[in-house]
Structure 1
Amino acid sequence: MREAELRRLLAANLLCAVSIVLTALVPALFLDGFSVLDTHLTWLCICSVCVSVLNVTLCLILKPNPSSKRSSLSNKISRFLKCCIYFFMSCILFHAIIVLYGAPLIESVTETFLFAVLLSTFTTLQCLCLLGPNIQAWIRVFSRNGAMSIWENSLQITTMCSILGGWFGAFPIPLDWDRPWQVWPISCSLGATFGYMAGLIIAPLWIHWNRKQLTYKSR
């Protein structure tokens, strides 16, 4: 059962990673002059939407964290509205943090907010899909040894890799957006994207290796 669950996680993560690659390739077939660098804001929108739709779809199909309680339609609607509010609040929070780290406050407000949406897609949306709008569960998962399933372990890894990737994209701190190679927000969003993809691949491998170590020590 554990091996089957790990294979499901690996398949879901690889599908998410492939979808990101496709967002950089497929739109070029339909949009003239499209590229990740030249039309970066368009790519940010496409990538955020595709990853969001895929994550929600996989959550509904795989049901990685099924609830034993049956909820009514009103409870489901209330849960959905809370998730939307939490996601929007996450975008605002990331936007504020990015501005505090040196991103332009007014000149590039659209770029900053779209980058915040991308970060929220890689982090908060996954928490909402797996844990729902339950802050206590979020605190438990991101506390030391708080993950109770391989899906929560993967959530920890992909979230941290996404944030670290965005941070490395903004290196050095404080930010200096006058550098020609550090045009806002290309370096940060690419860093977060590569970090997220790395987390998707690393998570199943790390979980598998960690389980083998625990099995070896228990013998």
Structure 2
Amino acid sequence: MPLVDPVTMSSSTPSKAASDAGKSSKDGHQQLHPVHPLSSPAASAVRHLQPVLLSGLFYARFGALVSDPVRTLQASLPLVAAVQVVYAFVSLPAAGSQTAKPARKPRPGEKKKVESTGPNPFIAIFLSVLLAALVTPIIHVVLVLFGAPFLTHVAHTLLCSAHVALLALFPLFYVHGVDAAAWLAIASAQAPLDEAYGGLVGGLLGAWLGAVPIPLDWDREWQKWPVTILCGLYAGYVLGKTIGGTLAFGNRMASANRSKNGGGGMPAQRPGATGKYNNFRGKTGVQNEAVTRHIVKN
């Protein structure tokens, strides 16, 4: 019976477990796929009509937005919500529908049973609207931390936050729900681009760039808070949604798998470099010991 070295077993088992854990974590990043929109003719029509409606609504109400931001944002918020709800309901798959099990075929002579094969889109819409409403105060706090007025213009900032939640986050709530792995990938910029995620990236980037003209001394009426933020938000959302659903579909902004020499770490050693270094240390130690003995004898 062959002998088994316990040292070899104990050293190989943790390394194998570590490699399996790394492989599973790598697979976990790759499990999040881009969300494909529904392929029906109605879904395709709504997908192309939604950015046109949002852009037209914002352009038509731009003059009123400059003169009275609070009243205009209040009046346009239900219209934006209706456009987003119809777009999500008709064109996007609800959270969990991509992993739903197909309906079981009845056996010969067996009565057909009504089975639930996927999530209810009406419940998904309701929960997505609720989550968008709950996250609005959080966006308000984030805007204040980024320089929005704290004691004044409270209604302006709150309504601006509501528009951010409806445009950028509501579609993501509908297609991903509260999946922790999906939101971790989104927050770490490792999620693949699609229409929903592209709209978030474009909207946030546009809103950030929209803050640039506010402190400039141009003395224009449209420079007041939060007109330029909303201009960048709507323009960035439409552009990001379009690019994310076409040209950049499936691409990732940050790769989950870094190179061996990347990330600011130490460069990888060449094979055999450690052995050569140890041999050099061994030879040097022998030479030093011989020199010491020679000095002691003398």
Same fold judged by TM-score > 0.5?
Answer: yes
Instruction: Map residues 103-114 of structure 1 onto 2, 5 A cutoff.
Output: 103-114=148-159
The 1:57–1:98 alpha-carbon spacing in structure 2 relative to 1, beyond 3 Å, is same
Instruction: Map residues 7-156 of structure 1 onto 2, 5 A cutoff.
Output: 11-24=45-58, 35-65=64-94, 67=97, 68=100, 70=116, 82-141=127-186, 143=188, 146-147=191-192, 153-156=194-197
The 1:123–1:24 alpha-carbon spacing in structure 2 relative to 1, beyond 3 Å, is closer
CA shift, 1:179, in A, is 6.4
| CA distances 1:159-213 after superposition (whole Å, capped 9, x unpaired) | 10000000001127xx748863431001111111111121233233314797xxx
CA shift, 1:80, in A, is 6.2
The answer to whether the 8 A contact 2:202-2:240 is kept is yes
Aligned length: 196
The 1:26–1:176 alpha-carbon spacing in structure 2 relative to 1, beyond 3 Å, is closer
Q: Select the residue among 219, 222, 225 that pairs with 1:180.
A: 219
CA shift, 1:141, in A, is 4.8
Matched, 1:171 2:200: no
RCO higher in structure (CA 8 A, sep ≥6): 1
CA distance in 1, matches of 2:43, 2:247: 12
Determine the structure 1 residue equivalent to 2:268.
none
The 1:54–1:208 alpha-carbon spacing in structure 2 relative to 1, beyond 3 Å, is same
TM-score, structure 2 as length reference: 0.54
CA shift, 1:20, in A, is 1.4
The answer to whether the 8 A contact 1:82-1:133 is kept is no
| CA distances 1:77-104 after superposition (whole Å, capped 9, x unpaired) | 6x66654442223211110011111111
Determine the structure 2 residue equivalent to 1:216.
none
CA shift, 1:158, in A, is 1.0
| CA distances 1:82-129 after superposition (whole Å, capped 9, x unpaired) | 544422232111100111111111210000001101111111111112
TM-score, structure 1 as length reference: 0.70
CA shift, 1:10, in A, is 6.0
The answer to whether the 8 A contact 1:52-1:125 is kept is no
Percent of matched pairs sharing the same residue:
20
> What do you get for the CA RMSD once the two structures are aligned?
3.8
Determine the structure 1 residue equivalent to 2:22.
none
CA distance in 2, matches of 1:209, 1:112: 33
Q: Select the residue among 183, 192, 200 that pairs with 1:159.
A: 200
- Where does structure 2 lack aligned partners over 5 or more consecutive residues? 1-35, 102-115, 252-298
SS of 1:102 mapped into structure 2: coil
SS of 1:35 mapped into structure 2: helix
CA distance in 2, matches of 1:101, 1:53: 29
CA shift, 1:157, in A, is 1.2
- Where does structure 1 lack aligned partners over 5 or more consecutive residues? 29-33, 211-219
Determine the structure 2 residue equivalent to 1:195.
236
Rg bigger for which structure? 2
The 1:102–1:161 alpha-carbon spacing in structure 2 relative to 1, beyond 3 Å, is same
CA shift, 1:49, in A, is 2.4
The answer to whether the 8 A contact 2:210-2:230 is kept is yes
CA distance in 1, matches of 2:242, 2:125: 29
Amino acid at match of 2:163: L
SS of 1:48 mapped into structure 2: helix
Structure with more of its chain in helix, by fraction? 1
The 1:82–1:12 alpha-carbon spacing in structure 2 relative to 1, beyond 3 Å, is closer
Determine the structure 1 residue equivalent to 2:259.
none
